[in-house]
Amino acid sequence: MIPGQRYVDGLSIRLIPLTDPDHKPFSRRIAWLAAQADGTPVGSAFLRLNSRKAHAHLGDVEINVHPAERGRGTGTLLLGAVVSAAREHGVRTLVTDVDVNSIGDSFLQRRGFTIGLTLIYARLDLSTSTPDVPEVPGYRLMSWEGAPPEELVQTFTDARAGMNDAPSGTIDAGVDVWDVERTRSAAQLIEQRGERLLVVVALDSTGRIAGFTEVVVAGDGKGDGQNYGTAVLPEHRGRGLALWMKAAQIHETRRRFPDLDGLLTDTVDTNTAMRRTNERLGYRPQHEVHRRTLDL
């Protein structure tokens, strides 16, 4: 038998390690291609390794098998390669997203993956009206595109701490540490992808950022934009800042990108406060995703 080759349901399937060019500042991916003896691809797998200390124990997994080839053991073969590589690189928990009640969801459940959390994906149709939201006394809003202004880069970085207590289900995600370099790098990465980052922040009476919300839009300003982070620092919560910022974000997005169709967001099902905020703004649920985990 050729090294790396296995027989799956009577067919010879070979796993080919790939060099993945998708390197990011704090992570890299290992990849495999599953192919028949004649070279016909039937599936693929990716394992993203995190270099940040807080996330080094987590490995993000993606496994794909051609619909016509499912049920023959290719997915199991790919998963085996992922698990072996993850252990070699010190990963303690595999994490992957899969649509609820899908074939992939059942596949992972049978192989020991448990539900770490459930994400609810929702969409806002930008052709609909946005409800009026009152201003929050003692604060003012500011917006920009791309990296933050130099005079706000530190306070914007500090405001990222508002994400640290976001619901994470049973997944030990650790504290996600940000510094100014990472703040700038994140904005630059979005620009390099040809996309545009729009940020709205709330500043308190001292000029420090109390909360923020982000949307990323395709370079041509069409299709659907994607909500990224939204957070309010603990000492500023309970005043309606998230609702105010997100409403202003919708108006600003419409103004800057008149050809945009909608906005997408995903929220952990237990984050009832953010779900209520999104619902009030007109977001409507589309589908649900299980974030499944496997402890190695």
The pTM assigned to this predicted structure is 0.87
- Which pLDDT score is estimated for 124? 97
Nearest to 239 by CA among 279, 208, 199, 273: 273
* Contact in structure between 295 and 93 (CB atoms under 8 Å): yes
Cβ-based neighbour number of residue 30 at 10 Å: 20
Q: Give helix 241-256 / helix 272-281 axis angle, nearest 10°.
A: 40
Q: SS3 letters for 230-278?
A: EEECHHHCCCCHHHHHHHHHHHHHHHHCCCEEEEEEEEECCCHHHHHHH
From residue 249, give the alpha-carbon distance in Å to each of 132, 158, 186, 199: 13, 21, 19, 8
Residue by residue, pLDDT tens for the chain (296 residues) are 334 555 555 557 888 888 776 666 677 889 999 998 888 899 999 999 988 877 889 999 999 999 988 888 899 999 999 999 999 999 999 999 999 999 999 999 999 999 999 999 999 999 998 888 999 999 999 999 999 999 999 999 999 999 888 888 888 877 778 899 999 999 999 999 999 999 999 999 999 999 999 999 999 999 999 999 999 999 999 999 999 999 999 999 999 999 999 999 999 999 999 999 999 999 999 999 999 999 99
Looking at this protein, which amino acid is placed at residue 49? L
User: 3-class SS at 282?
Assistant: coil
DSSP letter assigned to residue 88: H
Per DSSP, the three-state class of 104 is helix
Angstrom distance (rounded) from CA 92 to CA 26:
18
Paired residues of 46 in beta bridges: 31, 62
Q: What are phi and psi of 73, to 5 degrees?
A: 100, 0
Query: Which residues 6+ apart lie within 8 Å of 126 measured at CB?
Result: 250, 253, 254, 260, 261, 262, 263
Q: Where does the chain have alpha helices with state H?
A: 74-88, 103-110, 153-159, 180-192, 241-256, 272-281
